[in-house]
Structure 1
Amino acid sequence: MEASLDNASELPDAVPPDTSVAGTGYTTPTFLQALIDADILIPTGVDGIYGRSGVYEAIAEGMNALVTQAGADQHAEVLRFPPTTPRKDFEDSEYLKSFPHLAGTVHSFCGNERDHFRLLERLEEGEDWTDQQRPTRVVLTPAACYPIYPVMARRGPLPPEGRVVDVFSYCFRHEPSLEPTRMQMFRMREYVRLGNAGQILAFRQMWIERGQALADQLELRHMLDVANDPFFGRGGKLVADNQRDQKLKFELLIPVNDGAPPTACMSFNYHVDHFSTVWTLRTSDGEKAHTGCAAFGIDRLTLALLRQHGLELGQWPKTVRAALGGI
């Protein structure tokens, strides 16, 4: 494990979650309450879904621009997709095999006039009307990189040097929480590498170093550790253990939430040939392509900055504000 701190115990002390969000009746960490009191996050009545203030957005936009600057020499192809993906591609990705509890589907009313009348009756009576909705052909994007793999596969074999793609999107994961870093809708910025194993491993190591340098530039206390995804089901632990044993995923952890371990704000992933098994991603010599990505949680990094530097931008270190575009 590489780390900027000797061990996790040196991270800022956790504060017991001892305050409540007004009107919810829930006990919640003090940091979330402070964000709400300062009108930086605006509660909507649904845990993990917030409005954001101008101050919050200025930090997030500065953070995104800083990631762009860090990757300028990659000459990446820029692709932007809406926060939805075709249901067929989603099913092919095998996401439901590992993370069914996080998936979000898009449903719409597809009935006739009589069905509409029935829906209105239920709405008027305060009864459940959702069975009048039917699945559409799109689902909510769970990770920014997912839409690009079928697109790359349709282009045919990769060039000898492989490809680097820059993607950014709102993502959805159904995990309602009072931890401000565990939003249901959040922004993810990624650089995705497609090529052979050597190219992917070199890319990942480069971004691990750049991610740590970026955190240092922002004066964020952090540590790097081997990690695994939260796989679901009886075999989930075995898959997670295998991922950790092979060191396929590293996370840059930053203390943000009260009474909780440090939060993963960046991740550096080696997918091996998973996506080329799902889609026909091939290298220039016809072999299965390998893929990897460096992912930056824009909202988590924004919250980490607010937690470590305070809610008043005027009191932040001048070098940090300058790095974020002079906010």
Structure 2
Amino acid sequence: MATTFVELKVDNSEVLKQLVYAAFFVDENIQDIQAGDNGLTIVHADGADAEKITEQVHKLHRRFSNHEYAFKQEIYFENRVDVPYRGPIIQEMADQKIIKQLDPGVYIFREPFTTLVRFLDDSIVRKIANKFGAKHEYYPVVINGSTLNKTNHFTSFPEHIQFVTHLREDLSVIEAFSQAIKEAGGWNQDTRVDMNASAATPQYMINPATCYHCYEGMQDETLETEGTIVTAVSKCHRYEGGNHRDFGRLLDFTMREVIFVGKPDFVKENRLKSIEMLKGLVSEWELDCHLENANDPFFTSDYEVKASFQRQQEMKFEMRMSIPYLNTTISVSSSNFHSNTFGNAFNIKAGKRPAVTGCLAFGLERFILAFLAQYGLDESKWPAKFTSDYNEWKQTNER
């Protein structure tokens, strides 16, 4: 391994955070990135092009620094709690075999973590979604490329996309592939197979966001009322490179959403109600957290325009829970307003005009990881309301 120091002047912590995140996508040989006062120390394979890495990092720095005002942090709600636990929860759960890491960002979760995730999901449904009379839907884990294209995901978050493909429907290709695997002694990272010749052009991707299927399902429809509210939970996937080393940043994760589609006032009013419900939930469960303005991690050259617009128009808020032993926070829920972007893309009408959309989304595993980082595995130390809700739920659901 070798290191390259890229000298930079970054005064804004939000800009620095976005820069480190994006820098992992500069070169596939990058193994680690450490931010310092005067720049980034990048650890990479010996054969990597250090000059190219430096050039690309500076390019990202220029992109993210053009509109630093877009990264001004505004906190709209705080629930400060002196939590009892500050231990390394990931290591503790790994030692107790509650979780097992298979690859960066890929985990097996076992009891009691899995029960806590089920409890959280049911709590969101009962305490938030059902209060809106939300319709329950169930979605596939894959999404058609033409559908994903309508969401602008290819142009906004190309680094996240995971493609699903298969061997071409050609007997000679299938037999040649099978023979190559046999000769290699099985599939492994060193197996030399010409996938460009063997694989079909991808038609499907693994879905990166639950709500995309909701809009696809309403395509070319005209709503008969002011709007509709849907809830769904599904597995989602986002490739984030070296960032998967970060606490709670999973390659494969579960997202519960409450989705609002309709006329502007309907969506805006119900979005605000859902935020109040979220604030009530974290307060009664005594979670150390805050709600702040945010932007999506747009990766492309128009980053500053999109990020600035999101923040100025208050289109995205994040509920961030503290991770005491790391002295940081992670987003466990986000509230999003998309205006008529998806109404136009999928030709969804609310009256005579394109529908607007919004959603309240939860990363279930992240939420439970953050909760355990604050309160640990000892149930006697958990907040009273959380414990009573959890025990009542278990008595009803585990008979």
TM-score per shorter chain, which class?
Answer: 0.7 to 0.9
Larger radius of gyration: 2
* 2: CA distance, partners of 1:314 / 1:11: 16
Partner of 1:164: 229
Q: Does the CA contact (< 8 Å) of 2:147 and 2:216 recur in 1? A: yes
Once the two structures are superposed, what CA deviation does each residue of 1:120-177 show, in whole Å capped at 9, x if it has no partner? 34333343324322244321111000011121123x2112321101111010000141
Compared CA separation, residues 186 and 325, structure 1 to 2 (3 A):
farther
SS state at 1:194 partner:
strand
Q: Does the CA contact (< 8 Å) of 2:79 and 2:287 recur in 1? A: no
Compared CA separation, residues 66 and 288, structure 1 to 2 (3 A):
same
SS state at 2:318 partner:
strand
User: Within the alignment, does 1:3 sit opposite 2:69 as a pair?
Assistant: no
TM-score normalised according to structure 2 size:
0.72
Unaligned runs of 5+ in 1: 16-28
Compared CA separation, residues 325 and 67, structure 1 to 2 (3 A):
farther
Q: Does the CA contact (< 8 Å) of 1:179 and 1:257 recur in 2? A: no
TM-aligned CA deviation for residue 250 of structure 1:
0.7
Partner of 2:121: 64
TM-aligned CA deviation for residue 13 of structure 1:
12
Compared CA separation, residues 316 and 30, structure 1 to 2 (3 A):
closer
* 1: CA distance, partners of 2:391 / 2:345: 40
4+ residue runs of structure 1 moved beyond 4 angstroms?
Answer: 10-15
* 2: CA distance, partners of 1:313 / 1:40: 15
Letter in 2 for 1:240: A
Q: Does the CA contact (< 8 Å) of 2:141 and 2:236 recur in 1? A: yes
TM-aligned CA deviation for residue 323 of structure 1:
1.8
Partner of 1:230: 297
User: Within the alignment, does 1:304 sit opposite 2:370 as a pair?
Assistant: yes
Aligned ranges 1:111-122 → 2 under 5 Å: 111-122=169-180
TM-aligned CA deviation for residue 119 of structure 1:
2.1
Compared CA separation, residues 35 and 168, structure 1 to 2 (3 A):
same
Partner of 1:287: 353
TM-aligned CA deviation for residue 104 of structure 1:
1.2
Partner of 2:332: 265
Q: Does the CA contact (< 8 Å) of 1:12 and 1:255 recur in 2? A: no
* 2: CA distance, partners of 1:271 / 1:209: 19
Unaligned runs of 5+ in 2: 1-74, 185-189, 395-399
2:94 to 32, 36, 46: 36
Once the two structures are superposed, what CA deviation does each residue of 1:266-311 show, in whole Å capped at 9, x if it has no partner? 1111100100121111112x11111101111111111112111102
* 2: CA distance, partners of 1:50 / 1:116: 31
Compared CA separation, residues 260 and 242, structure 1 to 2 (3 A):
farther
Overall identity of the aligned pairs, in %: 23
SS state at 1:280 partner:
coil
Q: Does the CA contact (< 8 Å) of 1:48 and 1:182 recur in 2? A: yes
Partner of 2:105: 48
TM-aligned CA deviation for residue 315 of structure 1:
4.1
SS state at 2:370 partner:
helix
Once the two structures are superposed, what CA deviation does each residue of 1:188-234 show, in whole Å capped at 9, x if it has no partner? 11111111211111111111111111112222111010100000111
SS state at 2:205 partner:
strand
* 1: CA distance, partners of 2:123 / 2:165: 36
Compared CA separation, residues 305 and 142, structure 1 to 2 (3 A):
same
Q: How many residues align?
A: 308
Q: Does the CA contact (< 8 Å) of 1:193 and 1:292 recur in 2? A: yes
* 1: CA distance, partners of 2:204 / 2:85: 40
User: Within the alignment, does 1:252 sit opposite 2:319 as a pair?
Assistant: yes
SS state at 2:203 partner:
strand
1:243 to 304, 310, 327: 310
Partner of 2:264: 197
Aligned ranges 1:93-132 → 2 under 5 Å: 93-123=151-181, 124-125=183-184, 126-129=190-193, 130-131=195-196, 132=198
Give the root-mean-square deviation of aligned CA atoms.
Answer: 2.3
TM-score normalised according to structure 1 size:
0.87
Letter in 1 for 2:227: G
